């Protein structure tokens, strides 16, 4: 299981403004600078035909996937929910899970921890920078893969394992990479993965 968190951000000012500077300077997406910029750097401006329209999009109706019913053991119910999940993933790329049994306090703590992580300085977040070919770590706006039409976001992905042998996997990852201030982040992420 992999947990991914993404937050949209405002554009950075530290990006180069012309092609010559682009070739010389790597793109940097520093969230601490983003909210103070009067103009959007060109790397984040999408072509008009790819921008969202001025009209609001149609209401997205996601099928609720009821885990209580899913765990009933009834083969017909399981089959129907499996089809709903498949259809939702193909049509929308997501679905809504209800009656999952995860304590709302644990979910709130996870949100606080993610907010804390994303508010830290770029240099701190880069301690867990996603390495080429890896699926875990911090990534900012995909600046390492693209040079135009960049999304305004940062992501944090990490692996979790429900095997009893690896119960502290996430806690140790953040403790070793980022220090004691992030022990609670890993600890509560472990708890969340066990739900």
pLDDT of 83 reads 92
Average pLDDT for 60-73: 83
Strands (E), 9-90: 64-66
pLDDT at 173 over 70: yes
Beta-strand runs (E) in the chain: 2-8, 64-66, 96-98, 137-140, 153-159
Residue 139 has pLDDT above 50, yes or no: yes
Higher pLDDT: 80 or 165? It is 80
Of the pLDDT bands very low, low, confident and very high (cuts 50, 70, 90), residue 86 is very high
Judged by DSSP in three states, 13 sits in coil
Residue 127, Cα to own-chain centre: how many angstroms?
A: 17
The pTM of the full predicted model, rounded to 2 decimals, is: 0.64
Q: Is the dihedral of CA 137, 143, 148, 154 positive or negative?
A: positive
- Locate the domains of the chain by residue range: 2-9+39-46+103-193
Instruction: Give pLDDT, residue 127.
Output: 87
pLDDT of 76 reads 93
């Amino acid at each position: 299981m992999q947990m991914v968190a993404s937050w949209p951000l405002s554009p950075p000012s530290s990006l180069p403004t012309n092609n010559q500077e682009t070739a010389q300077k790597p793109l940097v997406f520093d969230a601490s600078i983003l909210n103070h910029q009067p103009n959007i750097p060109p790397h984040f401006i999408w072509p008009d035909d790819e921008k969202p329209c001025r009209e609001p999009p149609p209401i997205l109706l996601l099928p609720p996937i009821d885990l209580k019913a899913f765990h009933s053991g009834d083969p017909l119910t399981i089959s129907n929910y499996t089809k709903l999940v498949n259809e939702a993933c193909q049509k929308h790329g997501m679905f809504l899970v209800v009656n999952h049994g995860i304590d709302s306090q644990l979910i709130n703590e996870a949100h606080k921890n993610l907010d804390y992580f994303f508010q830290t300085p770029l240099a701190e977040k880069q301690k867990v920078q996603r390495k080429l070919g890896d699926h875990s770590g911090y990534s900012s706006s995909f600046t390492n893969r693209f040079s135009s039409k960049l999304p305004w976001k940062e992501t944090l992905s990490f692996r979790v394992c429900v095997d009893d042998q690896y119960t502290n996997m996430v806690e140790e990852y953040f403790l070793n990479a980022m220090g004691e201030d992030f022990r609670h982040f890993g600890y509560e992420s472990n708890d969340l993965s066990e739900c």
